[in-house]
Amino acid sequence: MSLGTLDPPLGDARRKDEGLADKSFLSWPFFEDRHRALAEGLDAWAAGALPADHHDVDAACKGLVARLGAGGWLRHSGAAMGETLDVRSLCIIRETLARHDGLADFAFAMQGLGMGAVSLFGTADQRAWLDRTRAGTAISGFALTEPGAGSDVAQTATTAVRGQGGWVLNGEKTYISNGGIADVYVIIARTGEAPGAKGLSAFLLPADAPGLTVLERIEVMAPHPLAHLGLHDVVLPEAALIGKPGEGFKIAMSVLDVFRSTVGAAALGFARRALDEALARTGRTRAGGGRLSDYQMVQGHLADMALQIDAAALLIYRAAWAKDMGQPRISREAAMAKLYATESAQKVIDMAVQLHGGDGVRTGFAVERLYREIRALRIYEGASDVQRVVIARSLLG
Ligand code: COS
């Protein structure tokens, strides 16, 4: 059986006029009309504005932040004083952007995650940064991970000690998204009120603070701005402290509770795109006198992909809805959403690559890009096994 090659030449099966992506989930009871309007409006915007040119990722990210800000979409990435983050909106935006362009999703997500602690716990003064990140005129990052503290945040070694009228910070942070292009970071450092998790605090750290340097830019398989940062006697004023001393771990976990569901949503967007690509491809590829999609074995794969996508969507929007309804902690729901959505998206995308034959691994094809883009989501913001730990702990009390 010979499987012919296809147009379009770059294998991008997105057909803007046909609107391939399944949007039936928007009628689920988790959503309000404003969510449906948001999804439709952003999808239309993204179809005209994306994908961005990724050749220079720093420039691409800066441009995307500016455009997402000008379009009004970044308003949803943070919460002004008295407002709360709408997690369903965050998830819808990430899912939609990821379906169109992974870097656009990254640019949006980091404005939210970077300033997440300020959205949840910031003072009115600290929220001045939010005005800028939500307008797209400043870029943010979340400096949590360290060379010796990845999954185990309680091992954070970066120190912040009182001195020089405020706090003096020393240490290193690594794998910091937007490192090198951010204007501001939220950083978690050890202030020592107690050992382990109870001795950490959160601070607002402007990128131009003397003593903060980019030690290394890190290149990864799906390029985005990423860096290893060094802090040498960085002095921050008292007003830089977010929440109270010793609350840094809880602040970081609360931020992750919100944003872990949104990582699942990004994975969902990638998976939906992969299914769209696979449907288009198998529906057009001639095979054995018919089409590839005529074969039951291929249909079985397509069915499994759709099933995993719907299951992931249900878990994601359950978690987001629970948070928006006021459930104080959604650790278990968010962990389930992130774990299932990222792991299943990897499988969906892998199958989409398989159904493309040789073109699946060819540079320039959407599924090849998705295959590289999905991998990191099973690691960052809590690797899959960390999510299993969180779920198991909630079961065992
Ligand atoms: N919201 C609020 N408080 C939380 C919380 C949450 N989601 N999760 C934990 N806490 C609280 C706990 O209640 C506990 O306080 P009390 O003793 O007063 O009850 C305290 O924080 C310590 O919690 P725990 O004992 O569970 O801490 P651990 O050090 O054992 O946490 C895990 C372990 C693995 C769950 C945690 O370190 C984690 O999530 N790691 C992954 C980090 C990560 O995602 N890194 C990627 C960064 S990319 S931005």
Residue 15 in domain: no
If one counts the domains in the chain, the total is 3
Prediction pTM value = 0.94
Tell me the two tokens of residue 304. 């499994």
Which residue's CA is the nearest one to ligand 1's atom 13? 250
For residues 260 and 391, state if they share a domain: yes
Domain containing residue 181: CATH number: 2.40.110.10
142 CA closest ligand 1 atom index: 49
Q: What is the pLDDT of residue 21?
A: 78
74 and 108 within one domain: yes
C-alpha–C-alpha distance, residues 67 and 371, integer Å: 26
Tell me, using a 6 A CB cutoff, whether residue 6 lines ligand 1: no
The residue among 386, 91, 106 whose CA lies nearest residue 264 is 91
Distance of CA 59 to the CA centre of its chain: 19
Specify which residues 227 forms β-bridges with.
176, 217
381 labelled catalytic: yes
| Domain co-membership, 92 together with 191 | no
pLDDT at 304 over 80: yes
Ligand 1 touching residue 291 (CB < 6 A): no
CATH code of 256's domain: 1.20.140.10
Residue 12 in domain: no
Position 274: which residue type? A
Kindly report the protein residue whose alpha carbon is nearest to atom 46 of ligand 1: 381
**Residue 321 CB–ligand 1 contact under 6 Å:** no
Query: Which of 196, 228, 246 is a domain's end point?
Result: 246
Q: Residue 139 class from Cβ within 10 Å (0-12 exposed, 13-18 middle, 19+ buried)?
A: buried
Based on the domain organization, do 371 and 277 belong to the same domain? yes
Q: Atom 3, ligand 1: which residue's CA is nearest?
A: 250
**pLDDT surpasses 50 at 212:** yes
Strands 166-177 and 159-163: antiparallel
DSSP state of 149: B
Q: Is 174 in the pocket of ligand 1 (CB under 6 A)?
A: no
Q: Which atom of ligand 1 is nearest to the CA of 145?
A: 47
For residues 229 and 298, membership in a common domain is answered with no
Amino acid identity of residue 344, one-letter, is S
Residues 225 and 209 in one domain: yes
Omega prior to 223 cis, within 30 of 0: no
Q: Is residue 11 part of a domain?
A: no
Are 301 and 353 members of one domain?
yes
Q: Can you give the pLDDT at residue 20?
A: 59
State whether 356 and 367 are in the same domain.
Answer: yes
Cis peptide upstream of residue 147 (ω within 30 degrees of 0): no
Token output for 104? 């656009």
Q: pLDDT digits over 254-292, tens only?
A: 999 999 999 999 999 999 999 999 999 999 999 989 999
Evaluate if residue 2 carries a pLDDT over 70.
no
